[in-house]
Amino acid sequence: MGLTKKPAHAARHDGARTYARELPGLLAALADPSATVRRWAARDLATHADAAPDLLRQLATEPDRSVREALLTSLVLIGNPVAVQGLIACLRSEDANLRNESVEALKSMPAALAEFMPAMLADADQDMRIFAVNILESLRHPDVEQWLINVISRDPGVNACATAVDLLSEVGTMASAQALENLKSRFPDEPYIAFAADLALKRIRED
């Protein structure tokens, strides 16, 4: 008996894929009770940029770690403004795991994230500004040092400035030296700021 070729739109019945692989079928699979099915759907949706909002909605409530990883990977691969802004919004979540996972995802999106970084560093919430500085640690972008200089020159929060100084001690050049000196005057009653700024200046001048 000859084999009957399946239609191109049919799902692969390999124990995990029981939905059509076009966008409607994959979106339906995201709601499947099986974590395996949801994981395969999340992975396959990486090729559908329009699915970013659906991936983000699923990420907000997804209980299975492996599915969350697949959702995040697809959002990174899609990398459009919707995906980036959605991951930034996740940093405000009460779910610590979701916040940490979103930070790691954003760290791997330097080109897509760059246009949003100035707004993140100017956010009214100091925690968001600290998240932004933490992301800069892994963000290979030519403006990283200038963004950090802006933080220590303007940010009113001592914790945000302390986080930025710690990173400047690793990536700073002489371009940040004056801002580091000025920072000590901005927070004269904060011993850690003086210590961290002096340490950063020492490392910069030794390079």
Listed by start position, the domains of the chain span 20-108, 112-207
Within the chain, which residues score under 70 in pLDDT? 1-20
- According to DSSP, residue 168 is labeled H
Amino acid at 46: A
**Of the candidates 110, 109, 128, the residue with the CA atom closest to the CA atom of residue 120:** 128
Asked whether 81 and 111 are in contact (CB, 8 A), the reply is no
pTM of the model: 0.85
- 133 φ, ψ (degrees, to nearest 5): -65, -40
CATH architecture of 20-108: Alpha Horseshoe (1.25)
